[in-house]
Structure 1
Amino acid sequence: MLNELTRLTYLSFYMWEAGVGDIDLAVYEAAEDALNRTVETAEHTGIWHLPESHVPALERMLVAYDGQLATVSARAYMEAVVRLDRALCRKSPSSPVAKTLEAKRSRIGAAAFSG
């Protein structure tokens, strides 16, 4: 189940990057954080359970994903699927959400430094 939620999070993220949906990046950040914390806890305890406190973040992402499915073109959807598959096939997959957040923070830092 966590694998599927992770796939949906990143698929939705790739569609968002392609301009599908009016979603805030924070939705993906919160969903990814909830999934990561769930996995970290499970690795320590052996109990694979999504805590109630993590559900709202994933619900927001799923609502956003549902809205995207209502408007996305077949082409944009398939391009997002290809990007997801490509990302998951890497030897060391990394989070596209984290990369985007890092780039955004770098731009903000550079702007603050130059201004």
Structure 2
Amino acid sequence: MTGASDAHHEGVVGDSYPAGPGWVVAARGEVDQDTLAPLEEALVSAADQHGLVVLDAGSITFGDSSFLNLLLRVHHLTALRIAAPGEQLRRLFALTGADTVLSLYPSVEDALGS
């Protein structure tokens, strides 16, 4: 998938950048099985190269079970920290018990600083 994949990055993946001890990947909008691929690519690629990956989830409005599965997979690849999850994501994590596995932080700064 060359060329066309760039257009998909306008979807759920925002900026990705080095910060402090790790790498930040920002995501936005609805993350489900139809929109997940670019985010999966960004997170797995970051996990391959960095010991700490922070997902800036502040602009994610919805995440489903495929999103949750991706986070749990990446969590096993690297130190994954989830920054600024909104109410829907916090509810998803709490209902599934993922909040006991994943590292959640109120902000990107907090996630990088800990």
Q: TM-score, normalised by structure 2?
A: 0.27
**Structure with the higher strand share, 1 or 2:** 2
* Structure number with bigger Rg: 1
**Structure with the higher helix share, 1 or 2:** 1
Q: TM-score, normalised by structure 1?
A: 0.27
Q: Indicate the structure whose relative CO is greater, using CA pairs within 8 Å and at least 6 residues apart.
A: 1
